[in-house]
Amino acid sequence: MTLDFDVIQRSLPYLWKGFQYTVQLTGTAALGGLFFGTLLALARLSAVKFLAYVAAGYVNLMRSIPLILVIFWFFFLVPLVVQGISGAERPPQMGAERTAIITFIMFEAAYFCEIMRAGIQSIPKGQVYAAYALGLTYAQSMRLVILPQAFRNMIPVLLTQLIILFQDTSLVYVISATDFVGAAAKVAQRDGRLVEMYLFVALVYSVICFTVSQMVKRLQSRIAIVH
Amino acid sequence: MNYHWNWGVFFQEIPGGGEYYWELMVAGIGWTLAVSACAWVIALALGSVIGTIRTTTNPWLVLLAKTWVEVFRNIPLLVQMFLWYFVAPELIPPLKRWVIQVDPGTAQFLAAIVCLGLFTSARIAEQVRAGIQSLSTGQRYAGMALGLTPTQVYRHVLLPMAFRIVIPPLTSESMNLIKNSSIALTIGLAELTFRAREMGEYTFNFFEAFTAATLIYIVIAMTANRVMATIERKTAVPGFIAGGSR
């Protein structure tokens, strides 16, 4: 068979648009997931038993089913929820790209929750007592004392999760969203150039992920807090 | 929300099939379990070998093992699935001739277990390596002092302990593998998630189908967890914390 790598150059603008969406999805999901994940972690560690149970239930549910199934769930669920909130007559057309962003924020929140929980628990209890002794409220002690340290301790793990998330966003392919893989797959099928396109995609991902993971490794040895 | 729940849909007949929808789901469970089990065997076998190689002193072997881990870890599983199913036959002519002859289901199944097996092997390799490296160097030296060859040191001293240590991370890896097997739906393998979506498309009862699939995945994950916990308890070496209760 003959390989025609020219197809990559021809479709580069389209692939670039897909890649931008992948980056946008990864970034939004990471920030949103970190925000809600931290809230979930606080809920899991809360003294209010009900909150702790609900948060634990949500996290365990998300972590025990495949991401693809979660994507399908939200793909059909989100329009109905939006319709319920807005009171519209029929479910709105959400588009796969927008649904995917909501899905990944909700899904990643469960994973970031576990990371932040470990981070919070890595802070000695004395710090909480010290914060309370200074007269800080719960919110203040979390925001000013505990979370900044927990976050710092967990930076390498958070970045590793970011790499996993970057790879996982490719699964939006199943709802036909045009991310980097989606764009490549569409060109591949249109031009009958599956070999070239998929090899190219694999190369791009492996270069990016390898580079970032090496950077994380170096960072890890640099920011390790000496006890 | 405007959604009409109808749990009876599982006992409706599939149009023109003479089968019921619950049978569709059960067939899906079968494929999910078959793919996961076969991939797990490949992953454990290769992962143990690669992980062990990384702790040896031969620089070429170590490099090989490192490359193996990096390659499978840095490409999205979905793309790896496409590489095995669409690209590999194009690059290997004898494989292509074979793929054209066989039933598509067989080709999908093989691509899926090779893909998931190799992907998971890289992750297991890292855990086996960590397990071996967590043992004190004294164990290796003690083995050598007894006059064992390097192979014997691994076989009788290091690996038996290392494998016990890595059982908990292996448990979560096994559960990841079961979840990851759903990615095989992208190459057309009719596993559980595939069947749930298919049933949703036929009946428009998406949420019943997804609920059923969700519950089944939870049951499978819990069962796998229990099985691994039993293995951990049965193989525990008295006096060591690793391989304790639970």
Subunit contact A72:B196, Cβ cutoff 8 A:
yes
Which one of A3, A69, A214 makes the best mutation probe of the B interface by having the most chain B beta carbons within 10 Å?
A69
Range 122-151 of A in CB contact (< 8 A) with B? none
> How does pLDDT run across B75-117, given as a tens digit for each residue?
999 999 999 999 999 999 999 999 889 888 899 999 999 999 9
Inter-CA distances, B197 with A17, B25, B200, Å: 29, 10, 5
pLDDT score for B20: 84
Q: Mean pLDDT over all residues of chain B?
A: 90
pLDDT score for A225: 59
Subunit contact A69:B210, Cβ cutoff 8 A:
yes
Q: How confident is the model at residue B246 (pLDDT cuts 50, 70, 90)?
A: very low
Chain A residue nearest residue B216, CA to CA: A65
Q: How confident is the model at residue B2 (pLDDT cuts 50, 70, 90)?
A: low
Evaluate the CA torsion angle B59, B61, B66, B71 in order and state its sign. positive
pLDDT(A224) > 60: yes
Place of tokens 């559960």: B175
Radius of gyration for chain A, computed over Cα atoms and rounded to the nearest angstrom:
21
B20 DSSP β-pair partners: B13
User: B20 — phi, psi (to 5°)?
Assistant: -105, 160
Among B70, B76, B77, the residue with its CB nearest the CB of A210 is: B70
pLDDT score for B86: 93
Q: How confident is the model at residue A133 (pLDDT cuts 50, 70, 90)?
A: very high
The ipTM value here is 0.90
Q: How confident is the model at residue B1 (pLDDT cuts 50, 70, 90)?
A: low
Domains of chain A, residue spans? 10-223
A179 CB within 8 Å of a chain B CB: no
> Quick one: fold of A10-223?
MetI-like fold (1.10.3720)
A81 CB within 8 Å of a chain B CB: yes
Chain A residue nearest residue B88, CA to CA: A195
Q: Mean pLDDT over all residues of chain A?
A: 91
Subunit contact B1:A64, Cβ cutoff 8 A:
no
- The set of residues, in sequence order, having a beta carbon less than 8 Å from that of B205 and lying 6+ positions away, is B5, B6, B9, B199
pLDDT(A88) > 90: no
> How does pLDDT run across A2-56, given as a tens digit for each residue?
777 888 888 899 999 999 999 999 999 999 999 999 999 999 999 899 999 999 9
Subunit contact B200:A205, Cβ cutoff 8 A:
no
CATH number, domain B49-235: 1.10.3720.10
pLDDT(B34) > 70: yes
> How does pLDDT run across A46-55, given as a tens digit for each residue?
989 999 999 9
A88 CB within 8 Å of a chain B CB: no
**Cβ–Cβ < 8 Å for B178, B16:** no
B94 CB within 8 Å of a chain A CB: no
Looking at the complex, report in whole angstroms how far the Cα of residue B218 sits from the nearest Cα belonging to chain A. 6
B48 CB within 8 Å of a chain A CB: no
Domains of chain B, residue spans? 49-235
Among B76, B214, B222, the residue with its CB nearest the CB of A65 is: B214
> How does pLDDT run across B189-231, given as a tens digit for each residue?
999 999 999 998 888 888 999 999 999 999 998 898 888 888 8
Q: Specify the pTM.
A: 0.90
Subunit contact B210:A72, Cβ cutoff 8 A:
yes
Three-class HEC string of chain B: CCCCCCHHHHHCECCCCCCEHHHHHHHHHHHHHHHHHHHHHHHHHHHHHHHHHHCCCCHHHHHHHHHHHHHHHCCCHHHHHHHHHHHHHHHCHHHHHHHHHCCHHHHHHHHHHHHHHHHHHHHHHHHHHHHHHCCCHHHHHHHHHCCCCHHHHHHHHHHHHHHHHCHHHHHHHHHHHHHHHHHHHHHCCCCHHHHHHHHHHHHCCHHHHHHHHHHHHHHHHHHHHHHHHHHHHHHCCCCCCCCCCC
Looking at the complex, report in whole angstroms how far the Cα of residue B221 sits from the nearest Cα belonging to chain A. 7
**Cβ–Cβ < 8 Å for A196, A202:** no
B13 DSSP β-pair partners: B20
pLDDT(B18) > 50: yes
Which one of B74, B91, B203 makes the best mutation probe of the A interface by having the most chain A beta carbons within 10 Å?
B74
Q: Please report, rounded to a whole number, the percentage of residues in chain B having pLDDT higher than 70.
A: 96
Among A66, A80, A198, the residue with its CB nearest the CB of B79 is: A198
Q: Please report, rounded to a whole number, the percentage of residues in chain A having pLDDT higher than 90.
A: 73
Looking at the complex, report in whole angstroms how far the Cα of residue B151 sits from the nearest Cα belonging to chain A. 31
The HSE-up count of residue A99 (CA atoms within 13 Å, CB side) is 26
Chain B residue nearest residue A168, CA to CA: B76
Per-residue pLDDT, averaged over A123-131, amounts to 91
With b for 16 or more beta-carbon neighbours within 10 A and e for fewer, the B13-49 pattern comes to eeeeeeeebeebbeebbebbebbbebbbebbbebbbe
With b for 16 or more beta-carbon neighbours within 10 A and e for fewer, the A151-172 pattern comes to bebbebbbbbbbbebbbbbbbb
Q: B206: which chain A residues are within 8 Å (Cβ-Cβ)?
A: 72, 76
A199 CB within 8 Å of a chain B CB: yes
Size of interface A-B (CB pairs under 8 A): 110
B221 CB within 8 Å of a chain A CB: yes
pLDDT score for A198: 95
Per-residue pLDDT, averaged over A164-185, amounts to 94
Subunit contact B217:A65, Cβ cutoff 8 A:
yes
Subunit contact B76:A181, Cβ cutoff 8 A:
yes
pLDDT score for A1: 64
pLDDT(B232) > 90: no
Q: B2: which chain A residues are within 8 Å (Cβ-Cβ)?
A: 80, 83-84, 91
- What 8-state DSSP symbol labels residue A224? P
pLDDT(A183) > 70: yes
B225 CB within 8 Å of a chain A CB: no
Per-residue pLDDT, averaged over A57-78, amounts to 93
Which one of A60, A186, A206 makes the best mutation probe of the B interface by having the most chain B beta carbons within 10 Å?
A206
